[in-house]
Amino acid sequence: MSEKMIQVPTLSELTSKGITPEILFWVGCSGSFDERAKRITKAFVYLLDKMNISFAVLGAEESCTGDPAKRSGNDFLFQMQALANIEILNGYGIKRIVTTCPHCFNTLKNEYPDLGGNYQVLHHTEFLNNLLDEGKLKIDKGTFKGKRITYHDPCYLGRANNIYEAPRELIKKLDAELIEMKSCKSKGLCCGAGGAQMFKEPEQGKKDINIKRTEEALEVKPNIIAASCPFCNTMMTDGIKNKEKDNEIPVMDIAELIMKAKKI
Amino acid sequence: MEYIPNFIFALIFFVGVSVFIRNIRKVILNIKLGKKSDRSDQLLKRARNMALLAFGQSKMIRRPIVGILHLIVYLGFIIINIELLEIIIDGLLGTHRVLAPFLGGAYDILIGTFEYFAFLVIISVFIFWIRRNIIRVKRFWNKEMVGWPKLDADLILYFEVILMSLFLLMNASDYLIQTNYPLQEEYIKVGYFPISKFLAFFLNGISLESLVLIERTSWWLHIIGILFFANYLYYSKHLHIILAFPNTFFANLEAKGRFKNIKSITEEVKLMMDPNNDPYNNNSIDQSVPDKFGASDVMDLEWIQLMNAYTCTECGRCTSVCPANQTGKTLSPRKIMMDTRDRLEEVGKNIAMNGEFKEDGKQLIKHYIMPEEIWACTSCNACVEECPIDIDPLSIIMSIRQYLVMEKSEAPADLNNMMSNIENNGAPWPFNQQDRLNWVQEL
């Protein structure tokens, strides 16, 4: 990614220059700190830059949305996080937010309004799909031609918010072969990370959920497993490693697929 | 003397209906033990949801084979209940097939339709029984399905077959009397009996007296059976045939990812964050702050969650799609619903006996539902999505988590670490908030 320096302005920098960006990119904790998820963040920022989208991030002013606290049952902590974030967002007069994490997406979109935070919130797959429809980016259809890509639905994008088509349309735009797993869309099996499971050991059982989901993905013999959530990505990547297929089958975020297929 | 049957019928019918009303009132009373929750908005959308899911069975078709079989039994149940109207009038007035002269040709069509449905219901129920007991579909054999739940499910199938068979036997003997003994005044030539005329083949050659006896016995057993079944509902998992309608009407219409905000906490958090607030001298603290966060027992749940529990018919679709259950964890969304209902029944009985709830040393969490089940949930909403009548086991799981965390501080240690990370540095991992933008250096 060293073609040119990509500028990632913070909201405070832009505001001091009197610039109001079109969108706020909510990076999220995974996207900021997790090594794997940071690659998704970078891919998305690269695409934003490529399409000349005026955007900004909060940087050090960003803090956890509170999702894992709320799913753990700690509404105090959740609301402390939410109210603090809303104060910052409203202070900047934010109208549109895009995020690469379905958990941040769901919380910002569905749970912040009750606390005074009303924004148009988009998941990056919706956002990218719209931009590609507008022709903002050209896709080199050769990149993934004939590749079998299976898409794992993140629960907080799919069932929680009924977004099933935007990520699929993006895969189709790559001219790749989209193959569905036995359980997909509203019947999609969780990767095992939701509800704050990401941060704890699973309870006693016969198997880990991510292994089961990985087996379902491997059943359809994909060349690539696509995801659109940093947690799902981690879980599926671990699953693929467990099955010793990590050299053959990459787990990729849709933003990374688009980045790879963009025409320079 | 000739009015004795009418009198007996009126008595049986009165007792049957009274007990039924008493049972339904018990259900309503118990549901009202739940906390308030306003579900009176968006009435049109609610009516639509009920029309689609309860009347239209739209979600049952997600599993096409059982969906269609269930549709047959459901339609059979509704349509054959029209016949009930005639049975009640006949019973009270001592008439026989009182509607026939009024309906003319339509009566034949009605009886014919009832018969086809009765036959299809028997076939469907037979297939249901095979699925449960021969094929042993996995979701009917989970741990929570031993003992009464298993017997209950089978009994309901037997009931349905018996009721339908009695109906057909009644028609078969009637048909034979009509054809073989045309001079019998009571048994006028009416009705069209596409199914029972085949059944009549086996009764051929039986004397008039025996046929009348069979016809009368079937008639009586059929109506007594229906009244019995209506009252059995309360003691079984089968209340869904009634509660599916209000349950879908009052269902959650919001996005499934939106977990309800707890307003009382918002007030407290706002005060906490207000730099001008003096915590030692504050009159503005809302005195209505609840004395308890989340739910440890059924009275802490909202009424809709309690209605959910009564509505559950233990089909186990939720459990069959639950990622935790599929991978061998103890969590089963169906068990959450069954436990909630069983505990609610227990609390209801306690109140009925003592006038008010007398502490019994038990509660929903730890005596019915174990924390291990509650913490295995990924909040993936698969159970909620799968329920054909919009039962929400996840909301109960979350209410219990809120109790365990905010009242008891009993979160798993890993989650406590995660939460203190969020508190201290604004991320679930121990990274410094100032470093959130470090990735930009790596571009």
CA–CA min distance B367, chain A (Å): 19
Q: Which residue of A has its CA nearest to B386?
A: A187
pLDDT at B191: 86
Write out pLDDT tens, residues B108-153.
999 999 999 999 999 999 999 999 999 999 999 999 999 999 999 9
Mean of pLDDT values over B202-220 = 93
What is the pLDDT, as a whole number, of residue B156? 97
Q: In chain A, positions 128-147, which contact chain B (CB-CB < 8 Å)? A: none
**Partners of A204 in beta bridges:** none
Q: What's the one-letter identity of residue B416? A: N
A206: closest chain B residue by CA: B328
User: Which residues, numbered 144 to 163 in chain A, qualify as contacts with chain B under a Cβ-Cβ cut-off of 8 Å?
Assistant: 155-156, 159-162
User: According to the model, what pLDDT value does residue A1 have?
Assistant: 46
State the Cα–Cα distance between residues B215 and B394, nearest whole angstrom. Answer: 51
Mean pLDDT by 10 residues, chain A (264 residues): 75 95 97 97 96 96 98 97 97 97 98 98 97 92 93 98 97 95 97 96 96 98 98 98 96 97 81
Searching chain A, which residue's CA lies closest to the CA of residue B379?
Answer: A195
For the segment B359-385, what is each residue's pLDDT rounded down to a tens digit?
Answer: 999 999 999 999 999 999 999 999 999
Gap between the terminal Cα atoms of chain A: 12
Q: Which of A200, A201, A212, A216 to mutate to test the interface with B (most CBs of B within 10 A)?
A: A200
Q: CA angle at residue A200 from A196 to A205, to 5 degrees?
A: 105
Q: What is the DSSP string of chain A?
A: --SSPPP--BHHHHHHTT---SEEEE-HHHHHH-HHHHHHHHHHHHHHHHTT--EEB-GGG----SHHHHHTT-HHHHHHHHHHHHHHHHHTT--EEEES-HHHHHIIIIISGGGT---EEEEHHHHHHHHHHTTSS-B-TTTTTT-EEEEPPPTTTTTTT---HHHHHHHHHTT-EEE--SS-GGGPPP-S-TTTGGGSPPPS-SS-HHHHHHHHHHHT--SEEEESSHHHHHHHHHHHHHTT-TTT--EEEHHHHHHHHB--
What distance in Å separates the CA atoms of residue A3 and residue B412, rounded to the nearest whole number?
A: 46
All residues of chain A having their beta carbon less than 8 Å from the beta carbon of residue B271 are none
Burial A84-123 (b: 16+ CB within 10 A, else e): bbbebbeebebeebbbbbbbbbbbbbbbbebbebebebbb
Instruction: Identify the pLDDT of residue B273.
Output: 85
- Residues 6 or more apart in contact with residue A194 via CB below 8 angstroms: A71, A103, A155, A156, A231, B378, B379, B380
Query: What is the model's pLDDT at position B166?
Result: 95
The type of residue at B409 is S
Token reading at B361: 């040393």
Give the model confidence (pLDDT) of B276-297 as tens digits: 776 666 555 555 556 799 999 9
Query: Is the CB of A42 inside 8 Å of chain B's CB atoms?
Result: yes
Alpha-carbon distance of A8 to A46, in angstroms, equals: 10
The residues pairing with A24 across neighbouring beta strands, listed in sequence order, are A56, A97
**Cβ contact B427–A29 (<8 Å):** yes
Report domain extents, chain B.
4-32+63-249, 271-426
Q: How far is A72 from chain B (nearest CA, A)?
A: 6
Domain boundaries, chain A: 11-129, 139-261
Q: Indicate which of B380, B400, B417 best probes the interface with A, i.e. most A CBs within 10 Å of its own CB.
A: B380
Chain A residue numbers with beta carbons less than 8 Å from the beta carbon of B293 are 75
| pLDDT tens readout for residues A175-229 | 999 999 999 999 999 999 999 999 999 999 999 999 999 999 999 999 999 999 9
If you ran DSSP here, which 8-state letter would residue B234 be given?
A: G
Pairs of residues, one from chain A and one from chain B, whose beta carbons lie less than 8 Å apart: 231
Q: How far apart are CA A228 and CA B323, in angstroms?
A: 19
Residue A188: its chain B contacts at CB < 8 A?
Answer: 382
Provide, as residue numbers in chain B, all residues whose Cβ is less than 8 Å from the Cβ of A31. Answer: 439
Distance from the Cα of residue B274 to its chain's centroid: 46
Cβ atoms within 10 Å of B210's Cβ, excluding its own = 12
Domain B271-426 has CATH 3.30.43: no
Q: How many angstroms separate the CA of residue A13 from the nearest CA in chain B?
A: 13
Distances (CA, A) of B66 to A210, B16, B57, B424: 30, 32, 12, 52
Q: Which site among B61, B269, B332 would you substitute to test the A interface, given the most A Cβ atoms closer than 10 Å to its Cβ? A: B269
CA pair distance B169, B193, nearest whole angstrom: 11
- Interface contact flag, B272 A80, Cβ < 8 Å: yes
The arithmetic mean of pLDDT across residues B340-347, rounded, is 98
Mutate which: A74, A181, A191, A232, vs B, most B CBs within 10 A: A74
**Residues B155-170 pLDDT 10s:** 999 999 999 999 999 9
* Cβ-defined contact of A38 to B439 (cutoff 8 Å): yes
Question: Which chain B residue is nearest to residue A202, measuring alpha carbons?
Answer: B376
Amino acid at B176: L
Q: Please list every residue in chain B whose beta carbon sits closer than 8 Å to the beta carbon of residue A38.
A: 439, 442
Chain B contact for A250 (CB, 8 A cutoff): no
pLDDT at B315 over 70: yes
* Contact call for A203 and B261, based on CB within 8 A: no
| Encoded amino acid at B434, one letter | Q
What mean pLDDT is reported for chain B? 94
**Alpha-carbon distance B381 to A71, whole Å?**
12
Decide whether A11-129 matches A139-261 in CATH topology: yes
Alpha-carbon distance of B112 to B109, in angstroms, equals 5
Nearest to B385 among A64, A159, A161 (CB): A159
pLDDT of residue B1: 66
Picking from A110, A188, A212, the nearest residue to B257 by CB comes out as A110
Task: Report the alpha-carbon distance of residue A208 to residue A229 in Å, rounded.
Answer: 19
- Name the H helices within B136-251: 148-180, 196-203, 208-232, 240-249
CATH architecture assignment, domain A11-129:
3-Layer(aba) Sandwich (3.40)
How close A229 comes to chain B (CA, Å)?
13
H/E segment holding residue B90: helix B64-93
B419–A77: do the CB atoms touch at under 8 Å? yes
The predicted structure's pLDDT at residue B286: 53
Spatial contact of A193 and A232, defined as CB atoms under 8 Å apart: yes
Chain B partners within 8 Å of A202 (Cβ): 327, 329, 376
Q: Rounded distance, CA B135 to CA B433, Å?
A: 57
A2: distance to nearest CA of chain B, Å? Answer: 7
- Considering the segment(s) A139-261 as one domain, its CATH architecture is 3-Layer(aba) Sandwich (3.40)
* The two structure tokens encoding residue B115: 């018969």
Q: Report CA-CA distances (Å) from A191 to A106, A166, B15, B394, B412.
A: 17, 20, 54, 17, 20
- CA angle at residue B244 from B242 to B247, to 5 degrees? 120
Residue A207 forms contact with B (CB below 8 Å): yes
Beta bridge partners of A121: A97
- Taking alpha carbons only, the member of B377, B367, B267, B386 closest to residue B325 is B377
